[in-house]
Amino acid sequence: MSKCETFLEQLYDYETSLEEEIKDIEQQLDAIGREQRALVVKTIQGKKYYYEQWRENNRLISRSVGRVLPGVSADVEIEREQRKELLQKLEEDTFLLNQIKKNIAIFTQKEEITPIIPDYAFEVYWKDELVTRVQVLRSKVKISRYTLHPAKQIFSEQVNTQYQVNKILEMRCFEKGRSDVKEKLSALGIDEYNPYEIVKKTHGVSYNDYLWFRFPKEKLTAKDVLVRK
């Protein structure tokens, strides 16, 4: 089995694992409800009661929890925290699954295009851990990987064209088809949608993970660029 086939097999395994984890999270959320709920206190005939409140189909729903006494709201508070953690985990896993699917598509397609960006180099970090160095010289791509962890590694050793690199950079950009794409490009001082130029400005950061890109001469660390602490 070649290195490319091994890497693809790892991606497929991770894809399956994420899909199973997402399915489990969905089932847990179905059991406890997905809507974030507020715990309020109401006074009725001089006595205080806990109520859960949330919106469902644009309607405000209230559920009595019981008299305000020490510990009465504990189960609701535990469930509320569980719901918050599950929703956050679902968002993270869904993002990672989409990244994995895009990687699989990139590493299995054969499409080539004329290089659209000049010679360049950059490093990819997970927090302050160097995970990849990328060098492009006269359309030749060199990938140096320092971890194979599928959540941290978005480059394969088999990435060998500017087209493939450009598609990976595009995964770290806002979507090209957004209605406000012109405004976002203008805010970055860029005239056209070019993933390389966008990532040079944004460092490819996302709230969903800790990956970021450092370009030559930049004296930056994770705390300088990451939006998620």
Instruction: Check residue 124 and report its DSSP letter.
Output: E
Are the C-beta atoms of residues 79 and 86 closer than 8 Å to each other?
Answer: no
C-alpha pair distances (Å), 162 with each of 2, 48, 61, 204: 22, 66, 54, 17
Tell me how far apart the terminal alpha carbons of the chain are, to the nearest angstrom.
39
Are the C-beta atoms of residues 137 and 128 closer than 8 Å to each other?
Answer: no
Q: Give which of 148, 166, 168, 158 is closest to 103, Cα–Cα.
A: 168
How confident is the model at residue 177, as a pLDDT?
86
For helices 3-32 and 74-108, the axis angle rounded to 10 degrees is 150
How confident is the model at residue 139, as a pLDDT?
63
CA angle 136, 137, 140 (to 5 degrees): 75
Q: Which residue has the tokens 């956050």?
A: 88
How confident is the model at residue 220, as a pLDDT?
93
Parts of the chain with a pLDDT under 50: 111-117
